[in-house]
Amino acid sequence: MSSTAPALNASSPFKLALIQLAIGADKAKNLAHAKSKILEAAHNGANVVVLPECFNSPYGTNFFPEYAESIDGGDSVTMLSSAAKEAGIYLVGGSIPERKQDKIYNTLTAYDPTGKMIGVHQKVHLFDIDVPGKIKFKESEILTQGNSLTHLDTKYGKLGVGICYDMRFPEMATVAARKGCVAMIYPGAFNMTTGPLHWELLQRARAVDNQMYVAACSPARDINASYHAWGHSTVVDPTGTVVATCEENETIVYATVDPAQVEVIRTNIPLYNQRRFDIYDDVSESVAFDGQGNGTKK
């Protein structure tokens, strides 16, 4: 039993910009600064702009309750919508701590060039790790996990989104690829321990397994903050090659995402015709998507 490569419904290349934003303790300043960088990226020709994880707040469970907002009319969401509109770009608005009733989520929102919200993703896999002597972090002490996958419908094709630790779970990217997404985009803030070890490797792995683009957008490193982000915002192409990256300071990383490159690699190395769903299951078959791009288990 074989399968065929998913239709991408995307023909034109687009310019992707990852804003490796310098984030401080002043939320209003973070919002104003993010907006100016979004406009800068658009000015430089970007069509899809990405902000990092937790862009309105320093990263840390102790900060989340103070910086958390409603995504229904909150300051961060209001800024993101107006920045997308003013810049005339698609915006993957990093993530913010979202307050909803008595719970806090790590939530990504995305917008089209008119400022309309086109997707909401609550981080599905919470970051709970303990590498003795190196790093201990338990998001689940404060955060609640989301329960659905999210695909954004854009005029450049479908984009799958995840947040940081979500990158470690190959099923999410595989579902996105098989449902026709041209790229997976992950705002994320890896640490100085996990960054050098896995940040680039995971992106290349997700890209080569799924023959799709993968991009991850980190905050700039702030040596004065309690959490030292690895930085190195990166774009990987569908062959698994790093096509754009940077170091730790604030910058904008640009890359062209070309659906034709996805088709080329899927033709040259035709994994899609060679999968053996007679001996293992197609993980994407177990997820059903609604009209808003939210996927849950059938």
Q: Catalytic one among 123, 139, 158, 248? A: 123
Closest separation between CB of residue 128 and ligand NAG, Å? 12
- With CB atoms as reference, the residue minimizing the distance to ligand NAG is 192
Between 128 and 282, CB nearer to ligand NAG: 128
- Examine the residue annotation and report whether 164 is marked as an active-site residue of this protein: yes
User: CA–CA separation, 65 vs 248, rounded Å?
Assistant: 27
Based on the shown chain and the rule CB under 6 A, indicate whether residue 249 belongs to the binding site for ligand NAG. yes
Binding mask 180-199 for ligand NAG (x = CB under 6 A): -----------xxx------
Site residues for ligand NAG, 100-139, by CB under 6 A, read 135-137
Based on the shown chain and the rule CB under 6 A, indicate whether residue 247 belongs to the binding site for ligand NAG. yes
- Examine the residue annotation and report whether 179 is marked as an active-site residue of this protein: no
- Examine the residue annotation and report whether 285 is marked as an active-site residue of this protein: no
Contact 150, 119 (CB under 8 A): yes
The secondary structure element, H or E, covering residue 122 is strand 117-122
User: CA–CA separation, 178 vs 191, rounded Å?
Assistant: 30
Binding residues for ligand NAG, rule CB under 6 A, total 12
Based on the shown chain and the rule CB under 6 A, indicate whether residue 174 belongs to the binding site for ligand NAG. no
Of the candidates 158, 154, 172, 173, the residue with the CA atom closest to the CA atom of residue 211: 173
Provide the pairing of β-strand 213-217 with 181-187: parallel
Between 164 and 287, CB nearer to ligand NAG: 164
Provide the pairing of β-strand 287-289 with 294-297: antiparallel
Residues 68, 161, 178: CA angle, nearest 5 degrees: 155
Contact 174, 160 (CB under 8 A): no
Interface with ligand NAG (CB under 6 A): 135-137, 191-193, 222, 224, 227-228, 247, 249
Q: Where in the sequence numbering do the catalytic residues fall?
A: 53, 123, 164
